[in-house]
Amino acid sequence: MIRFNNDYNKGAHPEVLNALIRHNDESYPGYGLDPWCEKAAGMIRDCIGRPDADVHFLPGGTVSNVTVIAAALRPYESVLAADTGHIHVHETGAVEHTGHKIELLKSKDGKISAQQIAEAADGFNESIVKEHITEPKMVYISFPTEYGTVYTKKELEDISSVCREKGIYLYIDGARMGYGVGAYDGTVSIEDIARLADVFYIGGTKCGALFGEAVVICNDELKKSFRSSIKQNGAMTAKGWLIGLQFCALMENGLYFEITKKAVQQAIRLRNAFAEKGIPFYMVSPTNQQFVLLTEEQAEKLSEKYFYEFEFKTNTGYSCVRFCTSWATTDEEVDELIADIALLDD
């Protein structure tokens, strides 16, 4: 069986493992106060063109989202997110568990717009009962989105502009950041993300690391006492150097962006194969996640050899499923799936 159901089904890139082995017998101070975290933070600052950014290394995506949101918001403030957003549909109420409400905006292709954000902010500002409702103080978006789509540079610039106009923080979940900036015909760079967001994170867990994410804080208002929030939310790793060392390996010579772009190229090969077979898409994705509509027979046939992720059954009888490539997906795996797609019954 070949796995196309997610982008975290293999351990880590060999360069990451080699770095861990080379330095395994060395000893370091704990809690991210070590030379490797310091070096990795510097490499990330250089990469994004923000020497003023604070960089913190956390063990996973959900705890990064919880920590960032809890640290940024007062108890009566809420976060705006797409109704398909990861913090709403995949995190078991983790954000609400901190006491902060997620205010949902109707998404289109997994995305929300600057206009929706402005309307939500104006709704609060124009309210005559502000003390009875939560104040939207942060916008949460994913890059790429849950459906593999990406915001254009213009869309991100518009969202960032309205957030700054309304006094709202912009937080970008970058669990799949490498696949987002490596999107097919993409227009957004990591420097753009750092310019437009108040805070974001660069995902490692789904992009070649064993585990770990790099939270990047660009807005000075959000920097104070952030390490205290990391600790309070259970996100401070005693052996923090293990995350810093992994990011050093991934950032060296642009490896992070090289391997994630290759994954996108593999996914586009699959997208072309499905299109050539006449298999419809739930929505067109330019990244490593491809959402297709299969008949019951097609889904059953592919499940004999491949793991993929079932999303939902449509009212026309199709199954919406996700095929997901990763930094570790091989040419041979993709070649085999492409051949089997071509053999499917229409």
- Domains plus CATH for the chain? 2-6+256-342 (3.90.1150.10), 14-253 (3.40.640.10)
Mean pLDDT of 123-137: 96
Nearest 5°: the CA angle 96, 102, 106 is: 145
Half-sphere exposure of 330 (CA within 13 A, CB side): 6
- Which of 344, 268, 258, 265 shows the shortest CA–CA distance to 306? 344
> pLDDT value at position 183?
98
Q: What is the reported pTM? A: 0.97
For residue 24, count CB atoms less than 10 angstroms from its CB and return exposed for 0-12, middle for 13-18, buried for 19 or more. Answer: exposed
Q: Is the pLDDT of residue 316 over 90?
A: no
Cα 341 to Cα 278: distance, rounded to the nearest angstrom: 10
Average pLDDT across the chain, whole number: 97
β-pairing, 102-105 with 77-82? parallel
Measured distance between the N- and C-terminal CA atoms of the chain, rounded to whole angstroms:
23
Please write the tens of the pLDDT for every residue from 251-280: 999 999 999 999 999 999 999 999 999 999
Element (H, E) at 200: strand 199-203
- Contact between 321 and 311 (Cβ < 8 Å): yes
> pLDDT value at position 345?
84
- Contact between 287 and 324 (Cβ < 8 Å): no
- Contact between 163 and 197 (Cβ < 8 Å): no
Q: Is the pLDDT of residue 346 over 90?
A: no
Lowest mean pLDDT among 36-40, 176-180, 323-327, 341-345: 341-345
> pLDDT value at position 90?
94
